[in-house]
Structure 1
């Protein structure tokens, strides 16, 4: 059994540069948590200092819209994958099941401005609380904005957070970083957070990024940088075949203020709170619950599934394994049988669907999809799991596509007490928008194989 101190490790649900995050269960109480465990790395002294600072900051941020630390231990006894017992740094955190943006991308249309305002009030409240304590997040992005069971915002991942109001280090993610981080020696960390918040708000209402990057500007950010915001809005509306009044005047004015490329001219959090758009009408709690519950139904569907049909055009799993030199030994004898990992509802993602088909057939289709879609892929010989790397085309220009590599894993999981399997896609690295597009391709591929998705 895999464990970390008093927690039984159930499965990995995420990973970063220095750590992995697991769904874990407290042995005595059965309470499930998100358990972050530091990896065994070379630069241990520097990384330990970063993790300790992250813990210190999170402990200081007692806010209802910030993920809370339950406990931490610098000398945890950890045993994973039948390995030796090792001593690692661990952090047990409050479990929040969904990313807000999974509801946006997989749950239907973009949010209305009224709905976006409801979420943005909570996000801004949390960030304002940080800034009042002299703390800047520095990595505000959709993946770090979660929802709890009652659809309340929970901001997470304070690995880049800083107590310094000025910084000269590069932190953040391509789509969301303020331009001054790339071009100036020193920048205001709070002002950079405001820019990132503007990107998040734009995506909530648009279901697409405002620009590709502030470091290598596309035509969208060039319009912002040249103070030609009218062109910026026209390009977005034209691309999506929208009327120019799709975005309200107040929304456009607020985003313009938050996107000011010169931080001296960018509006502050206080300015955002006092803005007419921010002070606009909010939906009731019942309206939000109804909206998100409807999106949740779209995401989850019913727990039923029909069998898949493997076509003659599909390569066998053994052939694919030989091609990537994984899963089959050199003398072509099969290795030990793969195990189907269990499905845990607490670790569910929006990028999943279900089928009653044989897991071997499902995995064969996943492997064929990986070969047809990914730049690189590897097939596990222990579990029904495939790692994929999606490498973008070099000639992408103004289509808001990413130029970064996107890495994902495809997993087949067994639903307990049912003849049902979950086909799950998880992002391990890269761009959220490319990941969402890849999941749509996966569902289309399964549809072509005559599988009934749910």
Structure 2
């Protein structure tokens, strides 16, 4: 029996907050299936916490003044909902990530709440990454009345708006403090930007959290991720770019106590399932279902399931990827041998994985006709006993 070379961790050893570049390994020919050769970009967000100012105590009012106040509240309720829809409501912007069409920032909202802001240049946004479509799909998820527990594992959009910015500040060499400095006589530096304001997560990316993770935490986080994907699919949306780069960690009670919570971000390549069979290669190459790279009509739901298989492999092996790229030696070995191939591969790498997890991985990283969907993942023996059980709440 030969010993296969372990893939390099091309997920990136970049420092937190830095730019995570996509895996650029050139695919080799698959032994049997067709060769593949498509890549896509990746990106993620990071940041720090900030204190929230306590509300001020209200003065006692007369019944008449309270009645007037209630009428004013009613008449201005719509205005209050959109009161954060302008750049002046955000301060302490600090760039945490350069994206394909702009930058991501950590900021403090006017009421003291920490938020993440993704600012995209609308003149450059095109192709698979569409901030306007992303906003529409995220609003669908946020407004959903579905009581599925996975809703809390989506990093929700708080608001979005367009505003002119200094385009040079969105360029690689621009300075963040110049973002809103627009000179009246210099129209060449003006750019209409799309602002997307998101919930803040205080734990950083799963990309950096996965190394050294224990099996119990790996199972808990994977269960949460699957609940989130199930919630998306129930609401007619496929993510199409699932990866450890696009999952962030939040500690509701602080990192010193409590359990980490997974939240999915970056819906820039998401699709509406009802209108989607895709011939386009979406997502990052290592996580992308082979049928997408073959430019075949692909089931978006099962494409997400394949990506979940790669994520699970990374979680239970503490950050070791199953292969460098589709078509390399390790990929061909497991693709044609299934569960037995994964077992032998992990043994050769001296990696110990729970048998149920190994079985689930083999049911996800496999040809599409054999692959199970997210509901079947939640009902798999590996995830039984997790909080919330394996069943979908509808």
> Shared fold by TM > 0.5?
yes
Higher relative contact order (CA 8 A, sep 6+): 2
Listed one character per residue, the Cα deviations across residues 56-85 of structure 1 (whole Å, up to 9, x for unaligned) are 111111321101111111235567443642
- Residue 178 of structure 2 is aligned to residue 82 of structure 1: yes
Q: The residue matched to 2:153 in structure 1 has which SS? A: coil
Equivalent-residue separation in structure 2 for 1:213 and 1:60 (angstroms): 34
User: Does 1:278 find its partner at 2:383?
Assistant: yes
Instruction: Indicate how the Cα distance of structure 1 residues 276 and 134 shifts in structure 2: closer, same or farther if over 3 A, else same.
Output: same
Determine whether 1:202 maps to 2:282: no
Residue 66 (str. 1) matches residue 154 (str. 2): yes
Deviation sequence 1:296-337 (CA, Å, 0-9, x none): xxxxxxxxxxxxxxxxxxxxxxxxxxxxxxxxxxxxxxxxxx
Question: Residue 125 of structure 1: which of 204, 217, 227 is its match?
Answer: 227
CA deviations on 1:239-267 (whole Å, 9 max, x unpaired) are 2x34xxx223222111111111x211111
Q: Given the alignment, which residue of 8, 13, 19 partners 2:102?
A: 19
Q: Deviations over 1:160-213 (max 9, x none)?
A: 001133111111102111111111421011100000001101101102101112
The residue that corresponds to 2:343 in the other structure is: 233
Aligned partner of 1:157 in structure 2 is 266
**RMSD of equivalent CA atoms:** 2.4
Cross-structure match for 1:254? 360
Distance in 1, matches of 2:227 and 2:336, equals 31
Q: CA deviation at 1:236?
A: 2.3
Distance in structure 2 (CA, Å) of the matches to 1:228 and 1:52: 40
Q: Aligned pairs, how many?
A: 267
| Ranges in structure 2 where 5+ consecutive residues have no aligned partner | 1-85, 143-150, 170-175, 183-189, 253-259, 389-394
Q: Deviations over 1:423-446 (max 9, x none)?
A: xxxxxxxxxxxxxxxxxxxxxxxx
Secondary structure of the 2:201 match is coil
TM-score normalized with structure 2 length: 0.63
- Whether the aligned pair in 2 keeps the contact of 1:165 and 1:190 (CA below 8 Å) is no
Mapped to 1, the partners of 2:298 and 2:314 lie a distance apart of 24
How far apart are residue 149 of structure 1 and its match?
2.7
Q: Secondary structure at the match of 1:64?
A: helix
Q: Higher strand proportion, which one?
A: 1
Tell me the residue number matched to 1:186. 297
Q: After the TM superposition, which residues 94-105 of structure 1 pair with which residues of structure 2 at under 5 Å, given as runs?
A: 94-97=199-202, 98-105=204-211
Distance 1:14 1:189 in 2: 28
Contact 2:313 2:322 in 1 (8 A): yes
Q: Which residue pairs with 2:119 in the alignment?
A: 37
How big is each residue's C-alpha offset from its partner over 1:336-384, in whole Å with a ceiling of 9 and x where there is no partner?
Answer: xxxxxxxxxxxxxxxxxxxxxxxxxxxxxxxxxxxxxxxxxxxxxxxxx
**More displaced 10-residue stretch of structure 1: 92-101 or 119-128:** 92-101
**CA 1:14–1:47 in 2, change beyond 3 Å: closer, same or farther?**
same
**What's 2:93 paired with?**
10
